[in-house]
Amino acid sequence: MDARDVVEHFVTSENRVHLLRILREGPASQSDLSDCCSMSLPTVSRRCDDLEERGWVQIHADQYKLTGAGAIVLRTYDNAVETVGRNGHNDLDYLAGSENRVRFLRALQDGPTEEAELKDDLSKSTVQRHKDGLSERGFINWYGSDCRLTVSGEHALNVYDSLLRTIEQVEDKNSFLRNIGVRCAGLPAETLSEAEVVYNSYSHPVRIADRFRERVERGFDHCWVLSSRYTEADVAAVHRAIDDGAKLTVMSPLPSHDVLPTDSTELKYMRRGINRNAIDWRIYPNELPINMVVFDANEVMLITTDQPGEEQQVQAMLRSENDELVTWALNLLESYHNESKPPLTYLYTRLRNAGVNEVLSYIDILPKPITGSG
């Protein structure tokens, strides 16, 4: 099924759209979806199986969950409907229902065209049917034997093509996008056409980590990081860059700090993260939808993982220098930064609730209190 078939398959089924909109609010069971959508359980099951096969939903513990890929498709579709206007869904449904209608409109994009030129390999009755349907929707006007694309027709075609390009990239990068969170719904998927995707494999299980460290070692002025996973080698490479004058803004999720470090090297880097002026370290209270690194506001690495589990392993990294994608990443980083707090906000509480031995083990990482000369 190519991208155009996927668009037709999705747009022409309000049931699929409705299911995704419900799952956008949070995970739900089949019975929940059946009640909300007024669909029978077998119908819900078929629709959800189809969406799961597309990578737009996942099922875990009998709960269906919207994936990043599904969230991107739904947001793009909703924006398309709103952009087209009052009859947005019906107009997109109409265009998606026949490739010939889209071909008809594209043939007019370069200017007025005579009816004979529009026939191409189409029968006279097919051309007449499309003429009538497109005219009724105000997409084309006829001036004698010449046919012209109207402003609304060109607008609808551009919106449809944008939706098509998004679906193409969601399909092409599906193994990556299906494993990011719904908060990444605004990711501009159209920009991914030239992005580089790097995968770990059994033969190269640390290829992504190697690429990240190689980039760090080339140097940077400012690096923004949103991540739940760090290796000692990653952290050491970043701190060497900071020693050379670089700055770091980093957000990590609170759940990744459930187990406080005991190793002296880990403690050293935690102490540096808290005390170094060149590091702005914040902790976000919940899980993250994606792992992300931006270098100098002109290069982004998006790193995703498989479904959460005890042995969660990074599987894919998407790298791009596209300005629109970098801007989106920086905006997302800023929103997480605003919702995060300095690490000691959480660390003090952890220490206070811990046993005396644990407190004594960590007391040296806390900033020394400022005292007066008296």
Question: How many CB atoms neighbour CB 171 within 10 A?
Answer: 18
Kindly state the DSSP code that residue 368 receives in the 8-state scheme. P
User: Tell me, what's the pLDDT at 120?
Assistant: 62
Angle between helices 151-172 and 68-84 (to 10 degrees): 180
- Output the pLDDT for position 373: 42
**Residue 92 phi, psi dihedral angles, 5° rounding:** -65, -40
Please report the pLDDT score of residue 374 as a whole number.
Answer: 37
Question: How many residues belong to the chain?
Answer: 374
- Residue pLDDT tens, the chain, 374 long: 678 888 888 887 788 899 999 999 999 999 999 999 889 999 999 999 999 999 999 998 889 999 999 999 999 999 998 988 777 788 888 888 888 888 888 888 877 666 555 556 667 787 788 888 999 999 999 887 788 899 999 999 999 999 999 999 999 999 899 999 999 999 999 999 999 999 888 888 889 999 999 999 999 999 999 998 888 899 999 999 999 999 999 999 988 877 777 777 887 888 888 888 999 999 999 999 999 999 999 999 999 865 443 344 458 999 999 999 999 999 999 999 999 999 888 876 665 665 534 444 555 555 554 444 43
Per DSSP (E only), the strands in the chain are 57-60, 63-66, 113-114, 140-143, 146-149, 196-199, 222-226, 247-253, 279-284, 291-295, 299-305, 314-320
CA dihedral (170, 172, 173, 179) positive or negative: positive
Q: How many Å apart are CA 23 and CA 47, to the nearest integer? A: 13
Q: Alpha-carbon distance 90 to 339, whole Å?
A: 39
Q: Is the dihedral of CA 353, 354, 355, 356 positive or negative?
A: negative
Give the pLDDT score at 104. Answer: 84
Question: What separation, in Å, do the N-terminal and C-terminal C-alpha atoms of the chain show?
Answer: 78
Question: Burial, 246: exposed, middle or buried (Cβ in 10 Å; 0-12, 13-18, 19+)?
Answer: buried
Indicate the DSSP class of residue 278.
Answer: T
Question: 3-class DSSP state for residue 66?
Answer: strand
Q: Are 20 and 48 in contact, with CB atoms under 8 Å apart?
A: no
Residue 257 corresponds to which amino acid? H
**What are the structure tokens assigned to 158, written together?**
């551009």
Query: Which tokens go with 264?
Result: 């002296």
What confidence score (pLDDT) does residue 126 get? 79
Q: What is the pLDDT of residue 117?
A: 59
User: Hey, what are 105's tokens?
Assistant: 């409109």
Q: How much is the pLDDT for 311?
A: 45
**Dist CA 213 CA 243 (whole Å):** 15
Q: Which domains does the chain have, with CATH numbers?
A: 1-194 (1.10.10.10), 196-365 (3.30.870.10)
pTM, full prediction = 0.86
- Phi and psi dihedrals of 349, rounded to 5? -65, -40
Query: pLDDT at position 32, please?
Result: 94
86 CB-near residues (< 8 Å, 6+ apart)? none
- The strand pair at 222-226 and 291-295 is best described as antiparallel
Q: Shortest CA distance to 294 belongs to which of 245, 331, 257, 243?
A: 331
Tokens 């004058």 appear where?
245
The pLDDT score that the predictor gives to residue 356 is 38
